[in-house]
Amino acid sequence: MSDRKYDYDLFVIGTGPGGEGAAMQCAKGGMRVAVAERFRQIGGGCTHWGTIPSKALRHAITSTMTALKNPALREMGINTRPSLEQLRRGTQAIIGQQVTMRQSFYDRNDVPIYQGQARFVDEHSVSIDGDEPITAKHFVIATGSRPYRPADADFNHPRIYDSDTVLEMEHKPTSLCIYGAGVIGVEYASMFRNLGIKVNLINTRAKLLEFLDDEIIDAISYHLRDQGVVIRHNEAMESITGEDDGVVLQLKSGKRVKTDALLWANGRSGNTEDLGLENIGLVPNRRGQIPIDEHFQTAVPHIYAVGDVIGVPSLASAAYTQGRSAGMHMLGMADGNLRLHDIPTGIYTSPEISSVGKTERELTEACIPYEVGQAQFKSLARAQITGQTVGMLKLLFHRETLEVLGVHCFGANASEIIHIGQSVMSPEGAPNSMNYFIETTFNYPTMAEAYRVAALNGLNRLF
């Protein structure tokens, strides 16, 4: 399979989950693979300024604040307020572990890493930092994305942040305005509110996280408001002014919000600048994203693109699978079992949210006769024991075939719980059935038991 005409069979640009998925799939498949990374360490935005640091910080905040709320600690007179620096301390260690582990994957599979900015010289060669071109038969562009920055906001102002710079925030503000209520905005709203910071969440749309099931949207909206987050819908930014004592957000509706700091979380742009795309005839869209077909091939068929650089769903989980899928296509393998169209959503708010499959809205629009089964966490023994009683599991199923069509969950560990339902949904045909949940003995007490409770609840509605 190897074509000695080129230095490599595959050259991957970017070492985030998208690039790693493609590189490992192809290296295991016998291709000669190399990767380029412009950051000083491998792992991508996922490891260094996205998924991993944000989730590590979230864990530090939740566990510390839960401990501090323990009445026994209060009785002992322990009433301290951790600094952001203290809460962030563990993050670097986790990032270090991730980098070491991922580096070992490249080492073990003999995949060299070229450090520097990769630019296409022509359709079969890239140059790293202007060095001698490296040639390859195939390429994968997995260069990720960065926060979109409106031209008229001053991101050098010490009180104005985006999702990359917020991780370095030094002083804990007493109030924070978050502009943009997508997944990143809502997750940070929840996190900072848990720290006791007054949060204003400005949404440019009519509802939070519109792609979710309506009942879950209602639940997260209720819980965020209940925790004290002020949410404004249907707003648009007029101007952002950084002042010595705060930041003023002027909205087109005439409202003005002044807070200690502002986090801009509205939109992302694909990392396609300075990649030499003009030398290979590829034109990114206005968000800097590269158009691809169903095999992740760009308009130049031996050049693939995966991950955030192609746009939604912009998840680390999806990027890795897309990378593998592109690799399989290069190897001439079918990727039919990768279920690329059934990517679950995990949103790490408090309460956590996760879903897979269709929403009630989608099923209703498609006139599919479905039924709903629900389990409230408060009725589960495990939730009562752990005190994590806020939450619900909701199963949507076909009322004639009993096929599971959608699983929606909010509450503690929702992003783990969802995968039980996803496993049952995955095989097509008869094995995907609500009967699995009522014919299976679940450990007791567990959160997984919610599936049996929800299934019985739903099946009892049938007539």
Site for ligand FAD in 200-229 (CB under 6 A): none
Residue (of 158, 160, 170) closest to 84 by Cα position: 170
Rg (CA), the chain: 24
Among 9, 213, 235, 308, binds ligand FAD (CB under 6 A): 308
Candidate ranges 26-34, 86-94, 230-238, 315-323; the one touching ligand FAD (CB under 6 A): 315-323
Query: What is the token pair recorded at 355?
Result: 């879903």
- What is the number of residues in the chain? 463
Question: Does residue 116 contact residue 274 with C-beta atoms inside 8 Å?
Answer: no
Among 270, 307, 351, 458, binds ligand FAD (CB under 6 A): 307
- Over the window 317 to 336, marking each residue x when it contacts ligand FAD by CB under 6 A and - when it does not, the resulting string is x-x-----------------
Q: Is 55 annotated as a binding residue?
A: yes
Among 103, 117, 386, 435, binds ligand FAD (CB under 6 A): 117
Q: Kindly write down the DSSP assignment for every residue of 222-286, as one continuous string.
A: HHHHHHT-EEE-S--EEEEEEETTEEEEEETTS-EEEESEEEE-S-EEES-TTS-GGGTT----T
Among 139, 161, 192, 348, binds ligand FAD (CB under 6 A): 348
How far is residue 222's CA from residue 233's CA, in Å, rounded to a whole number?
A: 14
Q: Token match 């096929």: residue?
A: 403
| 289 in contact with ligand FAD (CB under 6 A) | no
| 275 in contact with ligand FAD (CB under 6 A) | yes
| 143 in contact with ligand FAD (CB under 6 A) | yes
Question: Does residue 253 contact residue 235 with C-beta atoms inside 8 Å?
Answer: yes
**Category of 426 on φ-ψ map: left (φ > 0), alpha (ψ -120 to 50) or beta:** alpha
Q: Kindly write down the DSSP assignment for every residue of 182-210, as one continuous string.
A: SHHHHHHHHHHHHTT-EEEEE-SSSSSST
- In what order do the strands lie in the sheet containing 246-251? 237-243, 246-251, 256-259
| 15 in contact with ligand FAD (CB under 6 A) | yes
Closer to ligand FAD by CB, 65 or 167: give it: 167
Residue 23 CB coordination number (10 Å): 29
Tell me how far, at minimum, the Cβ of 140 lies from ligand FAD, in Å: 10
Among 9, 12, 44, 349, binds ligand FAD (CB under 6 A): 44
Closer to ligand FAD by CB, 18 or 458: give it: 18
Closer to ligand FAD by CB, 161 or 377: give it: 161
Query: What is the token pair recorded at 123?
Result: 């359709």
Closer to ligand FAD by CB, 246 or 346: give it: 346
Among 8, 9, 11, 16, binds ligand FAD (CB under 6 A): 16
Tell me how far, at minimum, the Cβ of 39 lies from ligand FAD, in Å: 4
Residues 266, 268, 274: CA angle, nearest 5 degrees: 145
Annotated binding site for NAD(+): 180-187, 267
Interface residues toward ligand FAD, by CB under 6 A: 13-19, 36-39, 44-46, 50-51, 54-55, 117-118, 142-144, 163, 184, 271, 275, 307-309, 314-317, 319, 346, 348
Annotated binding site: 55, 143-145, 180-187, 267, 308
Annotated binding site for FAD: 55, 143-145, 308
